[in-house]
Amino acid sequence: MAEIVSLAEAVESAIHDGDTVAMEGFTHLIPHAAGHEVIRQRRRDLTLVRMTPDVIYDQMIGAGCARKLVFSWGGNPGVGSLHRFRDAVQHSWPCPLELEEHSHAGMANRYVAGASGLPFAVLRGYSGTSLVLHTPNIAEIACPFTGETLTAVAALRPDVTVIHAQRADRAGNVQFWGITGVQKEAVLAARRSVVTVEEIVDVLDPRPGAVVLPSWTVGYVALVPGGAHPSYALGYSSRDNDFYVAWDPISRDRGRFSQWLDEHVFRADEGQPDPALSGGGGAR
Amino acid sequence: MTAGYTADEMMAVTAARALSDGMTCFVGIGLPSEAANLAKATHAPGLVLIYESGTIGAKPGALPLSIGDGILAETADTVVSVPEIFNYWLQPGRIDVGFLGAAQIDKFANINTTVIGQDYADPKVRLPGAGGAPEIAASCRQVVVVVRQSLRAFVERVDFVTSVGFGDGPGCRERLGLTGAGPRKIITDLGVLEPDPLTFELTLTGVCPGVSVLDVQAVTGWDLSVSASLRELPPPAAAELAALRALRAATPVTEGAM
């Protein structure tokens, strides 16, 4: 059964130095507040896994939490590059960053294999790309029935998966809807999990298209309203597009980034998003 | 500009015209998304827009900044998970056209969005990476690429093959087992390039009004062949320009983006 705890307690219990950590949410429901808590607790040597390591991992990489990144698209969506990510890859600042690089289809299938308890997944993908030359977790495989050559990708089994959801009930059952991404697979593939939620309610009434993770599949649930900002939670907040644009100049400069981190992460209290960053929030 | 429209507007209109009503279109963010939404707002109201976030049949009405903006989910016919969009929808070849951007593209229409420079471990420029593009380029029935023409972008051979166009030439897609037909049109701010039916090398088939063949060759990094049936592309119609500008005006963030 999921334990309902504070975000700080959840991160302290679930995430340790050297862990492989997946924080998922495909543009929608990105667990930014949890990322900030990991930075505040100064976790180190993490292998960070995420299909789209956008601003959340740019911040964690810049803060020195990561040793390795497993990913398929590392940009600031609609804006451009991730400058902390680039600085780590090109100049090893603040520390070297090892890369393991995939396509979205490959990453999605790696989570599916992990959730399914299989060692690998099969897809039509990667053929003829340079990715196969640089990524050891991709291999050719012959179909045992037709002989067709297909691609196998190794299962992802994170130590911890962290997601943000709209709601949980008091028993720790979790519900999220809208763009649900790969979060269900990522939680089921992981040994431990942390879910931050906008709201804890008495009863989870059904929602069209909602994914429900029963309490017994979840490790920790923490109430963090606005915890996806600058991403959004459908029905609760809007995507703060201005923040993504504003992030570009902040992240280009090491000094400006470090100052931002001091002001908005290290000095901000957990569960109390900095008002300067909060995009309104509250159910609508 | 004396023509009454910009080169970027011309490019968006030309790209939109590559899409027909009723097609299903897997849309990349940026220039492709703008053109696809323009097509839907003008001659192709029945165009089905599919974004890799799992939103099928999205009708955003304004340009989304990301492939996962709330407006895409709220207006979609259905929203599916990310494994499902790639496995059930893209992989079996259900989707007519993949609409992609590129950082680098070569004469066989291979696309690089990963690294600039020969050394992957120590790149000159680290780019965002693959995203959904490799499988979009492999599995959509055909691919259209929208990219501004420059010597930096149009190279003899890409530094890194993120998404396969025609590999090293004739027969390559078949050898690799890629099910779609590959790139049919590369639409730029200067004209249109299409693969030669025999050599699969990209060839200039259309130029924008006021643009010469030499203008295009000067910003192409290989010896660009010109099609015998080269034509001047028709300029944007007033209705197309009005629709494009209305789309841009309805878009919340443009300052600093892209």
The verdict on whether B255 is a catalytic residue reads no
Q: Is residue B141 part of a domain?
A: yes
Q: What is the pLDDT of residues B193-203, one digit of tens each?
A: 999 999 999 99
Q: Is residue A64 part of a domain?
A: yes
Q: Which domain holds residue B188?
A: 7-249
Distance from CA of A234 to the nearest CA of B (A): 7
Contact status of A96 with chain B (Cβ, < 8 Å): no
Q: Which domain holds residue A116?
A: 109-154
Residues of chain B contacting residue A245, judged by C-beta atoms under 8 Å apart: 253, 255-257
Q: Which position among B52, B135, B201, B240 bears the catalytic label?
A: B52
Cβ neighbors of A60 (< 8 A, separation 6 or more) are A35, A38, A39, A46, A48, A66
Q: CATH no. for residue A246?
A: 3.40.1080.10
Say if residue A87 is in the same domain as residue A169: yes
| Pairwise CA distance, residues B165 & A128, whole Å | 9
Q: A100 near A79, Cβ under 8 Å?
A: no
Beta-carbon separation of A109 and B139 below 8 A? no
Write down the pLDDT at residue A272: 52
Say if residue A166 is in the same domain as residue A219: yes
Say if residue A228 is in the same domain as residue A113: no
Beta-carbon separation of A126 and B132 below 8 A? no
Q: What is the pLDDT of residues B128-179, one digit of tens each?
A: 999 999 999 999 999 999 999 999 999 999 999 999 999 999 999 999 999 9
Q: Which residue of B has its CA nearest to A211?
A: B81
| Pairwise CA distance, residues B200 & B108, whole Å | 6
Q: Is residue A275 part of a domain?
A: no
Write down the pLDDT at residue B28: 83
Write down the pLDDT at residue B67: 83
| R_g (Cα) of chain B, nearest Å | 18
* Per-window interface: A 173-232 vs B, CB < 8 A: 178-182, 184-185, 209, 211, 232
Contact status of B118 with chain A (Cβ, < 8 Å): no
For testing contact with chain A, the best of B50, B78, B82 (most A CBs within 10 A)? B82
pLDDT tops 60 at residue B255: no
Write down the pLDDT at residue A279: 41
Write down the pLDDT at residue A276: 43
> And the tokens for B234?
């028709």
- ipTM for the predicted complex comes to 0.94
| Pairwise CA distance, residues A4 & A11, whole Å | 12
CA geometry: angle A142, A143, A144, nearest 5 deg: 105
Using CB atoms, which residue from B64, B86, B139 is nearest to A104?
Answer: B86
Total of domains in chain B: 1
Distance from CA of A89 to the nearest CA of B (A): 7
Q: What is the mean pLDDT of residues B34-49?
A: 96
Return the DSSP state at B234: P
Contact status of B90 with chain A (Cβ, < 8 Å): yes
Q: Is residue A274 part of a domain?
A: no
Beta-carbon separation of A77 and B66 below 8 A? yes
Q: What is the mean pLDDT of residues B72-80?
A: 94
Residues of chain B contacting residue A180, judged by C-beta atoms under 8 Å apart: 54, 79, 81
Say if residue A21 is in the same domain as residue A128: no
Write down the pLDDT at residue A137: 97
Question: DSSP E strands: which ranges in B174-258?
Answer: 183-187, 191-195, 202-207, 225-232
Q: Is residue A276 part of a domain?
A: no
Beta-carbon separation of A78 and B30 below 8 A? yes
φ, ψ of residue A139 to 5 degrees: the values are: -145, 150
Write down the pLDDT at residue A283: 35
Say if residue A65 is in the same domain as residue A126: no
Beta-carbon separation of A28 and B73 below 8 A? yes
Beta-carbon separation of B132 and A127 below 8 A? no
Say if residue A59 is in the same domain as residue A183: yes
Q: Is residue B1 part of a domain?
A: no
pLDDT tops 50 at residue B256: no
Q: A58 near A210, Cβ under 8 Å?
A: no
Q: Is residue A271 part of a domain?
A: no
Q: Is residue A280 part of a domain?
A: no
Q: Which residue of A has its CA nearest to B51?
A: A179
- Percentage of chain B beyond pLDDT 70 is 97
Beta-carbon separation of B72 and A179 below 8 A? yes
Contact status of A57 with chain B (Cβ, < 8 Å): no
Q: pLDDT band for position B55 (50/70/90)? A: very high
pLDDT tops 90 at residue B253: no
Using CB atoms, which residue from A124, A180, A185 is nearest to B91?
Answer: A124
Q: CATH no. for residue B45?
A: 3.40.1080.10
Distance from CA of A248 to the nearest CA of B (A): 9
Beta-carbon separation of A103 and B131 below 8 A? yes
| Pairwise CA distance, residues B161 & B133, whole Å | 11
Q: pLDDT band for position B101 (50/70/90)? A: very high
Beta-carbon separation of B53 and A27 below 8 A? yes
Say if residue A184 is in the same domain as residue A242: yes
Q: What is the mean pLDDT of residues B5-26?
A: 97
Q: Is residue B258 part of a domain?
A: no
* Per-window interface: A 130-169 vs B, CB < 8 A: 130-131, 134, 148-149
Per run of 10 residues, the mean pLDDT along chain A (length 284 residues) is: 97 98 97 98 98 97 98 92 94 96 98 98 96 96 97 98 98 97 98 98 94 98 98 95 95 97 85 46 34
Beta-carbon separation of B83 and A81 below 8 A? no
Write down the pLDDT at residue B163: 98
